[in-house]
Amino acid sequence: MAAQQDQFRQIKTFIFDVDGVLTDGSVNLLATGERFRTVYIRDTYAIEQALKAGFRVGIVSSSNADGVRNWLMNMNVKDIFMGGPSDQKINAYLGYIARDGLNESETLYMGDDLPDYPILNRPDVLSTCPADAVDEIQAICRYVSPKSGGRGAVRDVIEQVMRAQDKWTL
């Protein structure tokens, strides 16, 4: 646990997948063909607190839903990389790291499924996943949240990092 706390103390940037991490992975389909997702308000609160505390928050997702993008932008998340083939998420991640000169050892990434594998398997990133991530992802992550995707996993990692850095306030 002490080693994990040391890793949490290093984090300056959070990067999250959307489906299965910020949502429970469900997509609701309307008769019009429109799709919508549900997010967990406690995860939203944690993202807002991380941004207020000066952490960077980025999104890397192959989905490209306007509702998700608008929700993120309303929270002032600036680094949003959405759309494109799921097997190219690694390119969006590497582009973000390079563009902003981010240090991977100060970066936490949370993903839940095989398209996240190339990012989560990088040696320097703090790889994390929700409790309901697929087995292959859980096997490579340094931290598996006890919370499920879309049900507090994002809040869990943000709160742990901020507590380790004495930045979580009541």
Q: Report the binding-site residues for substrate.
A: 19
Annotated binding site for Mg(2+): 17, 112
HEC-encoded secondary structure of 41-71 = HHHHHHHHHHHHCCCEEEEEECCCCHHHHHH
Residue 108 forms beta bridges with which residues?
14, 126
CB 12 within 8 A of CB 55: yes
Whose CA is closest to 158, among 40, 78, 37, 30?
40
Annotated binding site: 17, 19, 112
